[in-house]
Structure 1
Amino acid sequence: MAKSQSVSLSVIRRLPRYYRFLSDLKAAGILRISSRELSSRMGLTASQIRQDLNCFGGFGQQGYGYNVEQLHAEIGNILGVGKKHKTILLGAGNLGKAVAAHMDFEAKGFDLIGVFETDKQMIGKNLRGLKILSSEMLVPFCKEHQPLVAILCIPKDSARKASDLLVELGIKAFWNFTHYDFAVSHPGIVVENVHLGDSLMILSYRVNETLEGNSTDNKE
């Protein structure tokens, strides 16, 4: 199915969750599922699921529901998990090592082809089967291999200079673990920001809300 150009980001952000649940259903040998059954598993309404999938043309059949394998494949195509975009990682410290070691890039649409670091003690070591290269090798490497995506696991004060250079070298998208705001200098670049501290503070807020709600209930 062709993807609509007007699909909201909120719908796009739910697609990986559909993909994960459908992967589990496939592994369990479930061949088809109704929107109501899927909603009970995911904690969404059946109406929400139908609306989300209808943004891409709809995949269900009246009285039958969704073919699990087909829907899983269609959502995978929409997400581009089979594309294998050439990707590089800047920063092989604790965060960079964790991202490289534990993320299944190939199953998510990416091919990690290079890792770069400024720390001389890290250069030359292996990470995910790749030799960690000096950041001085970034320019010739990008000119030769033409990566499309960069993962930034570097300090914020290094992010702007690095991003300016990477955009010049043809990088079109960033998975950004820094706190640098790309919208300031590169408004046309695709960026997915990952702010772990923000996520933790949101968790703190939700925990506090839950505790305060329980406290109020107990007083009543």
Structure 2
Amino acid sequence: MATQNKASLPVIKRLPKYYRYLNNLAAEGRDKISSSELARMMGTTASQVRQDFNCFGGFGQQGIGYKVDVLLAEISKLLFGDGELLPTILIGAGRLGTAVSSFISRDTNGYRLLAVFDINPDLIGKEMAGVPIHALDELESFCAKNKPVVAVLCVPRQSATELSGELVRLGIQGFWNFSHYDMSVEYPDVTVENVHLGDSLMSLGYRLRNRDES
């Protein structure tokens, strides 16, 4: 099977959507699906579906289609590897951090939340999503001991710019970044997923205001 390195970022970003739809099909008891049907669900073309899967060696036979359980298992391997959870820390125990930590902890998504960090003394020692909240000045000693590889940033932009370099120095290899600071430009050797919730909301507004235009 081809490696992820040979797939473009747009293809990689479509994998979770394939995974989600295939999970639904498996729950409905579906055995097979064609590239055309999967394309309609994805909002793309059958050719694009086949091209996407060919990046990883292909999972079906032309004219026969794809077995849902096999395709789901193969995409699961691509997304989750051998099932080992990625050790993760979260910075920022505010409202956004609370929501994100709950999502990470309750969903089977390949991550294991180890701890949350914040500067608010009223929160230190409490728990969030079943893990302890530590003072930010404990970050270095915690990382040295527990070796997290992923950091989730739920802090303002200025705080993210101040923290990111330190986190990279402490061994963080990937960021799920909600800070409105596009880190991927500054740290090209670190894997970054920048999340801009406002972009999605503005896109919705545009589509609603312009849906009657040709």
Name the TM-score class by shorter chain. Answer: over 0.9
Q: Is it true that 1:203 corresponds to 2:211 in the alignment?
A: no
2:165 equivalent in structure 1? 164
Q: Is it true that 1:21 corresponds to 2:21 in the alignment?
A: yes
TM-score under structure 2 length normalisation: 0.92
- C-alpha displacement of 1:151: 0.2
- C-alpha displacement of 1:204: 1.8
Q: Is it true that 1:39 corresponds to 2:46 in the alignment?
A: no
- C-alpha displacement of 1:41: 2.8
Percentage of pairs with the same residue = 51
Code of the aligned partner of 1:10: P
1:176 equivalent in structure 2? 177
2:135 equivalent in structure 1? 134
1:119 equivalent in structure 2? 120
Equivalent positions of 1:60-75 (< 5 A) are 60-75=60-75
Higher mean displacement: 2-11 or 23-32: 2-11
- C-alpha displacement of 1:208: 2.1
Matched residue SS, 1:210: coil
Code of the aligned partner of 2:48: Q
Per the alignment, do residues 121 and 4 of structure 1 end up closer, same or farther by CA in structure 2, a change over 3 Å counting?
Answer: closer
- C-alpha displacement of 1:184: 4.9
Matched residue SS, 2:108: helix
Higher mean displacement: 56-65 or 163-172: 56-65
Q: How big is each residue's C-alpha offset from its partner over 1:168-207, in whole Å with a ceiling of 9 and x where there is no partner? A: 1010110000012324542321110001112211222222
Contact 1:34–1:65, Cα closer than 8 Å, also in 2 = yes
Q: Is it true that 1:5 corresponds to 2:5 in the alignment?
A: yes
Counterpart Cα distance in 1 of 2:113 and 2:53: 30
Counterpart Cα distance in 2 of 1:19 and 1:90: 28
2:193 equivalent in structure 1? 192
1:103 equivalent in structure 2? 104
Contact 1:105–1:111, Cα closer than 8 Å, also in 2 = no
Higher mean displacement: 202-211 or 133-142: 202-211
Higher mean displacement: 169-178 or 100-109: 100-109
Q: Is it true that 1:145 corresponds to 2:151 in the alignment?
A: no
- C-alpha displacement of 1:26: 0.9
Contact 2:90–2:97, Cα closer than 8 Å, also in 1 = yes
Contact 2:105–2:129, Cα closer than 8 Å, also in 1 = no
Gaps of 5+ in 2: none
The number of equivalent residue pairs is: 213
Contact 1:84–1:106, Cα closer than 8 Å, also in 2 = no
- C-alpha displacement of 1:3: 1.8
Per the alignment, do residues 72 and 164 of structure 1 end up closer, same or farther by CA in structure 2, a change over 3 Å counting?
Answer: same
The root-mean-square deviation of aligned C-alpha atoms, in Å, is 1.7
Higher mean displacement: 187-196 or 200-209: 200-209
TM-score under structure 1 length normalisation: 0.90
- C-alpha displacement of 1:30: 0.9
Contact 1:105–1:112, Cα closer than 8 Å, also in 2 = no
Higher mean displacement: 19-28 or 118-127: 118-127
- C-alpha displacement of 1:104: 5.1
Q: How big is each residue's C-alpha offset from its partner over 1:82-120, in whole Å with a ceiling of 9 and x where there is no partner? A: 231110000010000000112357622211111111111
Equivalent positions of 1:44-63 (< 5 A) are 44-63=44-63
